[in-house]
Structure formats: C-alpha cells, structure tokens
Amino acid sequence: ASLAACGKDLGIELFVMDDGWFGTRNGDTSGLGDWTVNKKKLPSGIGGFAKKIHDIGMQFGIWIEPEMVNEDSNLYRNHPEWCMKIPGRQPNVERGQMALDLCRKEVRDYLFDSITKILDEGAIDYVKWDMNRNLCDIWSYSLEADRQGEVLHRYVLGVYELMERFVNRYPDILWEGCSGGGGRFDAGILYYMPQIWCSDNTDAIERLRIQYGTSFGYPISSMGSHVSVSPNHQTGRKTPLNTRAIVAMAGTFGYEMDLRKLTCQEKEEVKQQIQNYKNYYDLIHHGRYYRLSDAEKDRDFTAWQFVSEQKEQSLVCGVILHAQSNPLFMRVRVKGLEKNKKYQIESIQKSREEGEIDYKEEKNVYEGSALMNGGINLPVGCKDYEGFCFVLNAVSDPKLLK
C-alpha cells in the first residue's frame, strides 16, 4: 500500500498487483491455474486489499494468465487431461507452464467461475490477461484423432468465447491483452481488449523498434508501454528517465518500478512527465501518427509525430541514439502540418539529469511549409540515448507572425 500511496502522490491513477497473489505461486513453476487468493500474502483477501488501494484514491488492477497451468498445481493434479499434449509423447514445458485446452467447455467454465469469484470480491478496475508461452503439443482429448487439425482454430474460438463472457459480465473493467511474443497482438483480441502489452522487453531503446513495427498495423492507443528501471533488468542499458518517459508516451503510458526508490528530483520529474501525458493525451491517442524515421535502419535518431485533426497542434518526439564528437546538425522534417499556418515550437520535456541536453526556452515561430521541408534542428547532446519532445502550436497573434 505504501507503493500505491507514493504513486498517488506523483499523479498515478491505477495500481496493478502483478503475478504471485494466488495459490502456491511462490515462483514461476507452481500454482498457475489455482485461481484462489493466497491468504498468507493477502490476509484480507483481494477485496480487503482492493479497498486499501481504493481508499488511497487509486484504481486497482490484477494480473492473470488463464490459458496456462503449472504441473505443480491442484488443477493439473486433478485434471491432467485438460492440458494440450500429444498421447505417448513427453510434453514440452516452457517457463514451467503447459497450455490448457480451451477447446473444452469444462475448461472455460472452470476459468470463468474461479476468476469471476476473484473479480466479484475485489471490485477490480483493470485486468492484465497475460500469455507467456507459445502453443505446442497441439492435441485435444476432446476430439477424435482424425479431427486434430481443428484444434488450433477451436482453441482461438475458445479464447474469444471466454473473453466475450468476461467483458460482457464486467463492461467497466479495463482489459489489457498480452502480445505473447507478438503472436497475440491482433484485431481479434482488440475487439475484447482495447490495449495489448507489446512486449516484456521494456528497454526504451529496444522499444523504439518494437513500437515502430507495431504502429504499422495498430493505433498508438492500443500499445501497452511503460517506464521501467535503469539499468534495464533485461539489457543492462542505462537510459535517462526523460528518454524512457518519451518512449512510453507513444502508447498507454505507465510505470513499472519501485517509485519509493526514486530521488526527490526524479519524483518531481515523474510528476511533470505524468502531467505532460495528461495534457497531450487526446493528441497522442486520437491524433494522426507519423513516423519521421526508420527505426530499423536509421542509426542517428528515431523520431515520430502526432498531429491534431485540425492541424492546430503537433507533438514531435524522439531519441538521439549516439553521441558524437563535433557532430553535424541533425534535422527532422515533420509531416501533416498546414503549410500556410504559423507554428510556435516549444520543448515540453526537460531533463534534470546531470550532463543531459539543456533546452533553450526561446519559442521560435515558423511556417508549416518551412517545418515540413526545412525541418527542425535537433538539440546537440553529450550522451547516448537523449530524448527530445517538442510541441508545435498554431498561432494567430500578429506580434508572432511578423
């Protein structure tokens, strides 16, 4: 609860309890599939803990992974036939998990009934539906041997049927899906869940390519994206807090870290980041999105842009990838503006970390045609992975149009 209180002070609205709250889930090899609250960890149950979070003034969410099961679970011991595995073969266990056979109605009914009890108890506002392994050992004991070619199709229909039941029963819950390595980021899931977690890889520099690629098929509003710790726990890369926030803003935006460990200076920066995201939420989620670089090929910087429907405002964001000695000016040519309108440029992300870019406060005004053809000079920094974020506002003040 102290972590939630810290988040509330910084302006965060939703607290999510991750894996480990259920069954004998003391590691990733046990308990999955047993959807009952672990009272040793949560003596007051989901309902009691949810109330604490709600009393702080935050919404409350939980993590689930309904489609998978650990061999070390009561569910598997009682119903080993509910897993997908080929008769006579040793099943392939990934991450200590096996896939439940969602072709079977009794499996879907078990998941719906057990998880519904949790959601009814806790007054849950958000649910992360995870999927952490690929499907293999494609075989269902519910079908004859000559019908096993139907299994994958029937499995997906089973997933949709289960999701349909959940979202119809809980229309006010925000549901987030999981990409499962990219294989689950699809329009079918978005019909039930308005956002999908792009990847467990939260390194901001890796995310430049992940989110760039995802944007070719899906809107920014659907991309789960968070600010995580530095050095990153997967790559070991050190990335400025400012940069991590700029990258996460190109999506649903959140924080997955122990906020209590931030310095006072960093907490103030987080407050500003959250306020910036709220200020430009409509522009990011409903504006037109432009890719200003090729994140797969460009080595100097990655940049993207949001433009409002009336072309009155635009947000230009990106990351300078490599510091250089005596560098040439880098320039980004923006898109989607009204060529005859005048736009005032202002930086909205200012880092407080020592040695990073010192943005000037001057607010220059240019015609849209100049910005689209001539471009904007990017700030010159002295470290790798420095982020930038400019807002372009159309102006009509005669004093600024001279």
Q: What does the DSSP assignment read for 339-402? A: TTSEEEEEE-----STTS--------EEEHHHHHHT-EEPPP-SSTTEEEEEEEEEE--HHHH-
Residue type, 325: S
Q: How confident is the model at residue 184 (pLDDT cuts 50, 70, 90)?
A: confident
Question: Which two structure tokens, joined as six digits, stand for 276?
Answer: 């910036």
Say how far apart CA 65 and CA 129 lie, in whole Å.
Answer: 6
End-to-end CA distance of the chain: 55
Peptide linkage before 171 cis (omega within 30 of 0): no
Q: Exposed/middle/buried for 97, CB within 10 Å: 0-12, 13-18, 19+?
A: buried
d(CA 270, CA 8): 12
Mind telling me the catalytic residues?
186, 266
Average pLDDT over residues 70-78: 96
> Phi, psi at residue 220, to the nearest 5°?
-60, -35
Query: How many whole angstroms separate alpha carbon 370 and alpha carbon 333?
Result: 9
Say whether pLDDT at 354 is over 60: no
What value does the CA radius of gyration of the chain take, rounded to a whole number of Å? 24
Average pLDDT estimate for 364-383: 90
Q: What is the pLDDT of residue 133?
A: 86
pLDDT band for 401, please (50, 70, 90 cuts). Answer: low
Token duo for residue 7: 């988040």
pLDDT band for 95, please (50, 70, 90 cuts). Answer: confident
| Nearest residue to 73 (alpha-carbon basis) of 28, 20, 31 | 31
According to the model, what pLDDT value does residue 335 have? 98
pLDDT single digits (tens) 247-281: 999 999 999 999 999 999 999 999 999 999 999 99
The predicted model scores a pTM of: 0.92
Instruction: Give the 3-state secondary structure of residue 332.
Output: strand
- Bridge partners of 367, per DSSP, are 342
Nearest in space to 342 (alpha carbons), one of 283, 286, 282, 398: 398
What does residue 319 show for φ and ψ, rounded to 5 degrees?
-135, 130
Question: What is the pLDDT confidence band of residue 358, given thresholds at 50, 70 and 90?
Answer: very low
